[in-house]
Amino acid sequence: MGIVWILVVEDEPAMADLLCQGLEEANHTVTVARDGAEGLHAAEASQFDAIVLDVMLPQMDGVELTRRLRAAGRQTPILMLTARDAAADIVKGLDAGADDYLTKPFSWKVLLARLRAISRRAPRPAVSTLQVSDLSIDPASSQVRRGGALVNLTATEFRILEFLMRRAGRVVSRSSMMEAIWGFEEEIESNTVDAFIKLLRDKIDRGRERKLIQTVRGFGYVIREEE
């Protein structure tokens, strides 16, 4: 499946938690935004594989959010969710640029099938394996290998490593990592990111001649072959 990192924009806490839990159990990495403004900011700041978007949102509704993303040239596949199933509402969402539309309540099997379908229509090809030097990760199976040896990571460690690997060679800020991994609704200290990076280094780089996870002082981190 081409979709790995999903932005969920949902203001109802119970539904947001349900979506997050279900998608993570299906081996996806999930970032949650609680209103349309947060969703727009997140979608503009990062390259998600798909967006699962409620239509009725505070600050900015899902139709307007979709319209703005498409006007800015963002082609991320969008699956709209809503309790309203009137034909006019569906047409409005699709005309704004959504790729598909699903009414609540929905079947998990149907939601995952719709995500698979829109991923096949996505303009950029799916990446099955991410690799930097002799470090590789398989987002679909959550397997990590360094020099061919399996590395065991927790779910959060894996999400952080995947976030860095998808931006290999580019410096990422602590704040962008906090938003992507923990979402907007959790209060996370920047030293929490530092603590997880230390854990990753212990598992990925310790005892290796080449150190891949590097610190950019005062800003954040980058994963690349040591210069």
Given a cut of 50, whether residue 1 has pLDDT beyond it is: no
* Cα distances (Å, whole numbers) of residue 175 to 39, 65, 80: 16, 23, 27
Given a cut of 90, whether residue 78 has pLDDT beyond it is: yes
Arithmetic mean of pLDDT, 85-103: 83
The CA distance from 152 to 41, in Å, is 33
What's residue 181's pLDDT? Answer: 76
What's residue 35's pLDDT? Answer: 93
The CA distance from 57 to 163, in Å, is 27
What's residue 67's pLDDT? Answer: 93
Given a cut of 60, whether residue 184 has pLDDT beyond it is: no
What is the set of domains in the chain, with CATH numbers? 5-120 (3.40.50.2300), 130-223 (1.10.10.10)
Model pTM score: 0.61
Given a cut of 90, whether residue 226 has pLDDT beyond it is: no
The CA distance from 161 to 155, in Å, is 10
Given a cut of 60, whether residue 186 has pLDDT beyond it is: no
